[in-house]
Chains A and B, each alone.
Chain A
Amino acid sequence: MSGQSFLSTSGTEIAFVLVGIVALGAALLTVTTRQLVHAALWLVVALGALAVEYLLLTAEFVAWVQVLIYVGAVVVLLLFGLMLTRAPIGPSPDADSRHRPLAAAVAVAAAALLVTVVADAFRTTWITLRPGAGSAEANGIGLFRAWVLPFEALSVLLLAALVGAIVLSRRRAARPGVHEEADD
């Protein structure tokens, strides 16, 4: 923000990098820890660190929505699901999958793709942050003027997912004889 050189860093930039390292480390721990509930808690740390990154980028609206939705709802629901089914205290080695190398390869490929796209899109562009650029008003104007079509398409997609989930659960309830055996 203060200078345009990568060598003269400001406090905000140093904080940004440090929080980024925290997010990355927490994300790695999420997939490597052997305790199911601890994995969910590391995910909370990673998502919270992302929210801090948004704050550092002056996007306060997105940051608090991130906390509200991802930390406050998505992971709580995940924990809820874990506890409803199985949430042992201590390591659960039987939860390990045989497809670890494959999953790692997919993850590295996805990360590489994202990093390449972002790096290629911005190259050496210097974006000066100004306070208020990430306010609720700016987000609303951007979302409902320029990006209204993708926004609505996304909401239809979510609705479809919701209806799909209901249909799946209803079908199972309607024919109990067939699926109960499959469940067992």
Chain B
Amino acid sequence: MTVMHAQVLAAGDVSGFGHDPWWIMLIKAVAIVVFLMVSVIWAIVWERKVVGWMQLRIGPNRTGPWGLLQSFADAMKMMLKEDLVVKNADKFVLVLAPIVAVVPSFMAWAVIPFGPEVSMFGHRTALQLTDLPVGLLYILAVTSVGIYGFVLSGWASGSTYPLLGGLRSSAQMISYEIAMGLSFAAVFLFSGSMSTSQIVAAQAHTWYVALLPVSFLVYVIAMVGETNRAPFDLPEAEGELVSGYSTEYSSMKFGTFMLAEYINMYTVSAVCATLFLGGWRAPAPITTIWAGANSGWFPLIWFVIKLQIGLFFFIWLRGTLPRFRYDQFMKLGWKVLIPVSLVWLVLVAVVRAMKNEGWQFGRIALWTVGGVLVLLILALVWDAVFRRKPAGGGEPAPEPAFDPMAGGFPVPPLPGQALPPVPRRAPRAQRRAAAARAAEAETGGTDTDDGDGSPSPANAGARSAATTSTTGKGAERDDR
């Protein structure tokens, strides 16, 4: 292990990049753009299909075989729509915003490694446009510029809901970028490099998803927040903000936002694959039976499969989870993800320092696990000894009662305020018993046969009695 990492650290140069002839660079750049466009066309059909299946529908199936031409139909529809400009808008910024959103999402792909060195028209060249010693910093910086597209579109529309959507978008992307950067830092510590090709090379034996599972989890949550996708699609929450920042956009200006969103999904999936899932490398069982899986043009297959898994994950989330409330979302980002990544980063740094000192694996494990255990015990002791005092000493000041319509608007509870208890229906057995008792009192008889199949008059009476006496609205419908 130590030897392997020492080699990785020593090999931290990217001098192989940037020496291609201009026409190879051109081919690569055009290929990336074409790849992204085709991927987006596929993603739109695939998303509609998968969400359809998850909702027990068929999904688009009218255009082309299996609905495959749906994206073209969508694009044609968008291009033929009227390009509206709202009277109140700042016209220049309104047009600028979608461009600012989409250009950085393309730019980030310049440093994504698609595969190893291949032979292209007699030249040996890596399947990657270029690489920088600070490649991941470049990706972070470029994607952070993309935020402007969303913020400015919200502002330039000159309308309330877009402004709120733009505000949410900026706050959300900045908050989750911190957690994302911290999960990157753990990868930097282990790979000893910020260049994407070096990080993939460092995962030749073990993928970082196995070595750094916490970073992987934090990154996966942060990447959904960063792309404004469900369940974190608060900037375009249609129940609250019409369509958020893109409300006043139509035609291809809106289409550009869609393009940016889908490319961003692919970008974060590609970064996820590069950082944690071994980049273009084939998964373990394939490499053991097929030695050539990681050479030549084959790695493109693994890379595209990993991208599509990432995309499917996004669609799956959208089909499964309801939207977060804004305060819950911010709490998750600032009070859970960032502290967890900070603590994890310290742990990773300690392990890395021990490895640099040349310690054996057993010794490292002993010291880390021991240290964590000692800290936990200390924290528990601290909790037991010191936490009690303020609670016993004085009663905490009572919080002002929660007013769900404070200021005339429905509002969520503030921190420290508790929601009033939601009236719950009694369990079915109790309701049945209560209904039976009520029926008994009503008829005076013993006709308590409440099989679901044969509703007798007494039973119907009992049901209405149960509805009025013990439970609230909807109980009757639920019973049937």
* A-to-B contact residues, CB < 8 Å: 37, 41, 44, 60-61, 64-65, 67-68, 71-73, 76-77, 79-80, 83-84, 87, 89-90, 132, 135-136
Contact = CB atoms under 8 A, between A and B. Distances in A.
A64 B138 contact: yes
Nearest to A87: B155
Contacts of A89: 88-90, 155-156, 158
- Give the dominant DSSP class at B's interface: helix
28 contacts: A37-B155, A41-B93, A41-B152, A60-B133, A60-B134, A61-B133, A64-B141, A68-B144, A72-B141, A72-B144, A72-B147, A73-B174, A73-B177, A76-B147, A76-B170, A76-B173, A77-B174, A79-B155, A80-B151, A80-B167, A80-B170, A83-B166, A87-B163, A89-B88, A89-B155, A89-B158, A132-B133, A135-B134
B132 A60 contact: yes
Contacts of B154: 83
Contacts of A80: 151, 167, 170-171, 174
B148 interface: yes
Contacts of B151: 76, 79-80, 83
A76 B174 contact: yes
Interface string B150-185: 011011101000010011001101100100000000
- Give the dominant DSSP class at A's interface: helix
A77 B174 CA distance: 8
A22 B166 CA distance: 28
B145 interface: yes
B158 A67 contact: no
Interface string B78-122: 000000000011100100000000000000000000000000000
B51 interface: no
B137 interface: yes
Nearest to B135: A64
B6 interface: no
A61 B154 CA distance: 32
Given A65-B137, A136-B137, 11 more contacts: A60-B134, A72-B140, A76-B147, A76-B148, A77-B170, A80-B151, A83-B154, A89-B88, A90-B90, A136-B133, A136-B194
Given A79-B151, A79-B155, A89-B158, A72 B145 contact: yes
For the complex of A and B, the 10 pairs showing the least CB-CB separation, nearest first, are A72-B144, A67-B141, A68-B141, A64-B137, A64-B141, A89-B90, A89-B158, A80-B170, A76-B170, A61-B134
Contacts of B148: 44, 76
A82 to B, nearest CB: 8
Contacts of B132: 60
A48 to B, nearest CB: 8
B155 A83 contact: yes
Contacts of B167: 80, 83-84
A84 B164 CA distance: 9
Contacts of B158: 89
Given A72-B144, A73-B144, A136 B170 contact: no
A135 B133 contact: yes
A71 B144 contact: yes
A90 B89 CA distance: 9
Contacts of B173: 76
A136 B198 CA distance: 15
A100 B110 CA distance: 45
A135 B93 CA distance: 35
A77 B177 CA distance: 13
A135 B173 CA distance: 27
A124 B183 CA distance: 45
Contact of B140 (A44, A61, A68, A79): A68
A173 B88 CA distance: 37
A71 B148 CA distance: 9
- Of A61, A64, A71, A135, most buried by chain B (CB within 10 Å of CB) is A64
Nearest to B133: A135
Contacts of A83: 151, 154-155, 163, 166-167
A61 B163 CA distance: 34
